[in-house]
Structure 1
Amino acid sequence: MEHRGAEAVIIGGMVLDIHATPSMPANPRTTTPGRVRYVLGGVARNVAECMSKLGAKPYMISAIGLDMAGNLLLEQWKSAGLSIEGILKNSNIETPVVCNIFDANGEVAAGVASVEAIDKYLTPDWILHFESTIRPAPLLFVDANLNFPSLQASSKIAADSGCPVWFEPVSVTKSKRITSIVKHVTYTSPNEDELIAMANALLGADVFSPLEANHNLSTVSLFHMLKPAIWVLLEKGIKVVVLTLGSQGLILCSKGGPKHIKSPLNKTTQSGSGEKLYKTIMQKCPPNSCFDVSEPNRSSRLSAVHFPSLPASVVRLTGAGDCLVGGTLASLCAGLDIMQSISVGIAVAKAAVEVEANVPSVISLAAIAHDAKTAYSGAKVLFHQSML
């Protein structure tokens, strides 16, 4: 942690997304007029790009091919001034590509993913090449596209050096991979379906049932239904669960309360890249003693803080979750606390849904700070009680 200038390490997929949006209701077995766009994607890549737009210089570890898709991804990475040293480039690799067809609301109606290269080439051997980069990092992000051995190898390096790990579930099926590394994970950010899948996987039984699709539960009712599953993750050692609820915002869950969630980077060792973000957000969102809801016997207490979503002119929803995480990670690594960091993440997620790309081409720090202040002031303690 003493390495001034050390940056977060992001391990996961770099993907070329093909977005197809019909201009009228699509009919089966024929083509439909509309727009087809190439969009740079991949959960880990989106998170890292988002962080870079906030002034961070994340170190990406990934794998791409020497093909059209790979070239597009690599050129953008170079133009952003980010290191390509950790990106495996090989002519035998087929760069991951995902083709999505959207409906009129910007939601994915159907899609095809060709992402086998992540599992095949992003191996423990490749990751171990960068052990000396991971060890001093303020934070390690891994997405669940990694296979079990790669998740284990990367998270163990981080854990052995005291580096916090953020696990991004990606999907219901892949979220179950949490079982291989749960003892090393500090943060995770599931939606409600991924949360249920993760809790069941950790218990080794289908204890919790998925919620009905399109339910109309209030945030309070939804939380109380999901509370036992949240507690499973916290009891297994995860320090922070960021439960994303779409239009209902998110719920920040921990044992004891937000004041016991430490930033992975002390202000005294903060790298220069996060200084502007730190100062700007501190002015808009000063640390709030109202959320010091800690208790001496906090190990048995579940604390939950609800952050409402921000009103937005929605164009596309695909990048919102990744930008939420990217904004939060950049803020944590700049030395901000978890409440401030989540507020920034929500503000960046709002910016993301208002553009076609997964990550906005430009992120205005002034606009983000304004929206973060709104999110920060709207946060409310939802629950703080013993689970015994």
Structure 2
Amino acid sequence: MEKQRKDGKAEPVVIGGMVLDIQATSSIPPHPRTTCPGKIHYVRGGVARNIAECMSNLGAEPFMISALGFDMAGKLLLEHWKSAKLPTEGIRRHQDIKTPTVCHILDATGEVAAGVASVEAVEMFLTPEWIQQFKHKIHSAPILMVDANLSPPALEASCQIAAESNVPVWFEPVSIAKSKRIAPVVKYVTFASPNEDELIAMANALSSDNMFRPIERNNCSMNTLFQMLKPAIWLLLEKGVKILVVTIGSDGVLLCSKGEPSSWSIGLEKTKRLGLSGRLFETMTSSHPSNWYSDVNVLERSPYFLAVHFPALPASVVRLTGAGDCLVGGMLASLCAGLDVMQSAAIGIVAAKASVEVDSNVPSQFCLATIAGDARMVYSAAKVLPNQSKL
């Protein structure tokens, strides 16, 4: 493990679903009980797979632990993985595996209107025993990302292996229903990335009386939205999550932390600054962060509860299905390159913008100069939210 730290070969580990997305967009308002004209796309998907591909395209070289069948969908997903020269040893193949597939019906804005998911193989075949075979990879990783498609026993096994070597864990909730799987493993979680609805579901799963209700935004201000979400955010931080990345759609991201202001400078012990990762680090640190971020002194005066709003960037939207995954992938790649949480959040938002402007869930490539320029804009526009006090 020590050798991997020194030569830069420690790989972030991503565990979760690789999925074929069938995305159908109607060209007219759909009617029940009949077909309508439109377009159908086959897109490489899956929360963990999307995140890992985004990380790879930003130079992070993740090690993927997943499961695929020998069917058409499995072959399509695996061929692309091999073409990207990413390791396949962690991808379980078996004749009984039906490759996870999701069919999305998209509305005219690119949002998911309805869908059907067949992802049982992730729970059935990504077992604790399979994951245990790669514990040496997890022990030497800079960070472990798990998605909530995993069964509760597999989630717990993954987190326990990471804890043995103090490897930070990123929990990606996937959906409202599956987000509740954080409850047994919350004590292991360093980062979590829910949207508003997943945040409420996670808070209810961690409380005894389902005290949190879905948020009705009604065009409220950012400060008002934050005050509505704050009790649920605080509960997750109290239960042990160190950094909460709450995605709020076209309004961007709320980055929240409990404790000392040093939380914002949290970095990974094992980072890689070779190749594209090295160029990403150099590009982002060429300007001192204090030159970008005007509220840095406010952070230093906030002893208990810190929350920063990072605005989203304007985008020419083609499809929204990969935005959240690329946000996480961008942040993880940045952390693995040695950047801090604030810089990583800005890059995550830029990666999310790039994803909504292409047909695929993940852009095939990123321009570092564009990333750096856009990230500086996001970073300089970030604002500490008021009333940063202990609840």
Bin the TM-score by the shorter chain: over 0.9
SS at match of 2:201: helix
Deviation at 1:292, TM superposition (A): 5.2
TM-score, normalised via structure 2 length = 0.94
The residue number in structure 2 matching 1:35 is 39
1-structure distance, mates of 2:146, 2:109: 30
SS in 2 for 1:203: coil
Match of 1:49 among 50, 53, 58: 53
- 8 Å contact kept, 2:295–2:384: no
Partner Cα distance (2:252, 2:261) in 1:
17
Say if 1:157 and 1:74 are closer, same or farther in 2 by CA, change over 3 A: same
Amino acid at match of 1:339: M
Say if 2:186 is the partner of 1:194: no
Distance across 1 between alignment mates of 2:204 and 2:53: 32
Name which of 63, 68, 91 aligns with 2:67.
63
Q: Distance in 2 between matches of 1:195 and 1:27?
A: 33
Residue number among 216, 237, 252 corresponding to 2:255 in the alignment: 252
Q: Tell me if structure 2 keeps the 8 A contact 1:256–1:293.
A: no
- The DSSP-based 3-state class of the residue aligned with 1:222 is helix
Given residue 272 of structure 1, which amino acid in structure 2 is its aligned partner? L
Match of 2:210 among 201, 206, 212: 206
1:272 pairs with one of 271, 274, 284: 274
CA distance in 2, matches of 1:285, 1:63: 42
1:111: Cα distance to partner?
Answer: 0.8
Indicate whether 1:26 and 2:36 are aligned: no
Range moving further from structure 2, 156-165 or 9-18: 156-165
**Cα separation, 2, equivalents of 1:383 and 1:175:** 28
Ranges in structure 2 where 5+ consecutive residues have no aligned partner:
none
Distance change >3 Å, CA 295–CA 284, structure 1 → 2 = closer
Question: What secondary structure is seen at the aligned counterpart in 2 of 1:19?
Answer: strand
The aligned runs of 1:343-362 (5 Å cut-off) are 343-362=346-365
Gaps spanning 5+ residues in structure 1: where?
A: none
Aligned counterpart, 1:373: 376
RMSD: 1.8
How far residue 259 of structure 1 moved from its aligned partner, in angstroms, is 3.1
Structure 1 residue aligned with 2:296, among 291, 295, 302? 291
Conserved in 1, the CA contact under 8 Å of 2:243 and 2:256? yes
Partner of 2:384: helix, strand, or coil? strand
Does the C-alpha gap of structure 1 residues 157 and 296 become closer, same or farther in structure 2, counting only changes over 3 Å? farther
Q: CA deviation at 1:262?
A: 4.6
> Could you say which residue in structure 2 is the equivalent of 1:314?
317
Q: Structure 1 pair 92/17, CA: closer, same or farther in 2 (3 Å)?
A: same
Q: Compute the displacement of 1:383 (Å).
A: 3.4
Structure 2 equivalent of residue 235 of structure 1:
238
Using the TM superposition, name which of 164-173 and 23-32 deviates more.
Answer: 23-32
Corresponding letter in the other structure for 2:180: K
* Equivalence for 1:219: 222
Deviations 1:88-126 (A, max 9, x none): 011110000000111111111111110000010011000
Q: How many residues align?
A: 384
Query: What SS does the corresponding residue of 1:367 show, helix, strand or coil?
Result: helix
Distance 1:145 1:347 in 2: 26
* TM-score using structure 1 length: 0.95
Deviation of 1:387 after TM superposition, in Å, equals 1.3
Is the CA contact 1:263–1:332 (under 8 Å) kept in the aligned structure 2?
Answer: no
Contact 1:9-1:137 at 8 Å conserved across structures: yes
User: Residue 179 of structure 1 aligns with which residue?
Assistant: 183
Q: For residues 150 and 258 of structure 1, what CA distance do their matches in structure 2 show?
A: 33
| Matched AA of 1:92 | D
Paired residue for 2:168?
A: 164
Confirm or deny: 8 A CA contact 1:284 1:370 kept in the other structure.
Answer: no
Quick one: which amino acid aligns to residue 303 of structure 1? L
Range moving further from structure 2, 356-365 or 277-286? 277-286
Question: Identity over the aligned pairs, expressed in percent?
Answer: 62
Aligned partner letter, 2:296: F
- Secondary structure in structure 1 of the residue aligned to 2:385: strand
Structure 1 residue matching 2:286: 3-state secondary structure: helix
